[in-house]
Amino acid sequence: MLRPAGRRLRHSDVALLTTAGIAQVAVRVPRVRLVRSGVASPIIDAATNFVAGAIAADGGAAKQPAEGAADRLDRAFRDETVDAVIVIGGTGMGRRDACVRALARSGRVAVHGIAISPGETAALGEVDGRPVLLLPGRIDSAIAVWLLLGRPLLARLSGCTDTADGQDCVLSRKVSSSLGLAEVVPVRRVGDAVEPLASGYLSLAALVNADGWILVPPDSEGYPADARVTVRPLP
């Protein structure tokens, strides 16, 4: 066996296959429909473009509306040409946050409100067997939910079993977190260690300066200085 199923093809794998005289192999490319919900805004566009780039980086294909355009939710939910639907925005509790109600009309809402910080208003469901993930419209929340739920969803659709993702590092200072929430914390490298840049609300400056992120599990109040943590890359 040259390369088992469920592993991402590297350039060295392609070279090996070519040397063995294999010109083509079957790969899974998950097709994901992205939907901008509600009134178009630069923030929603930025979050949508981030998710589209992250999907492409992980081997998927994103189908999205024109820049700045909203989309018909019911039509997007029933798009039979895709494997999953991801909606950005409209997951809160306000009158204009209609995505969860639209999902309930078209299919099934499995959960609305997830113990993720940031990103507590995210929702997950399905329509005709297709998974639907609703991301909050705030860009830091959308990124956090994508990292914790979107990437595993895409990996599952890809048939990917490759779990090697992250590097052990030492924290230069402590991270405090609330019990009951899984928290995404951006970090940057400082010498041989990493330091946390923000928690709770993640500013664009923190995200831009981050070299990766760490996860504080919901049963933890954080990590002390000098603790060893797993740093995962940002898309």
Which sequence spans correspond to the domains of the chain? 31-158, 167-231
Exposure string (b/e) for 76-100, b if CB count within 10 Å is 16 or more?
Answer: bbebeebbbbbbbbbbeeeeebebb
| pLDDT value, residue 50 | 93
Question: Which helix (H) or strand (E) segment is 186 a member of?
Answer: strand 182-190
- Segments of the chain with pLDDT less than 70: 38-39, 65-71, 94-96, 163-164
- Provide, for the chain, the percentages of residues in helix, strand and coil under a 3-state DSSP scheme, each rounded to the nearest 5: 25, 25, 45
145 C-beta neighbours (distance < 10 Å), count: 28
Amino acid identity of residue 37, one-letter, is S
What contacts 147, CB < 8 A, 6 or more positions away? 184, 213, 232, 234
CATH architecture, range 167-231: Beta Barrel (2.40)
CATH architecture, range 31-158: 3-Layer(aba) Sandwich (3.40)
Longest dimension (CA), the chain: 60
105: left (phi over 0), alpha (psi -120 to 50) or beta: alpha
Q: Are 83 and 28 in contact (CB under 8 A)?
A: no
- CA–CA separation, 190 vs 213, rounded Å? 14
pTM of the complete model? 0.88
Domains 31-158 and 167-231 belong to one CATH topology: no
Tokens of 45: 């566009």
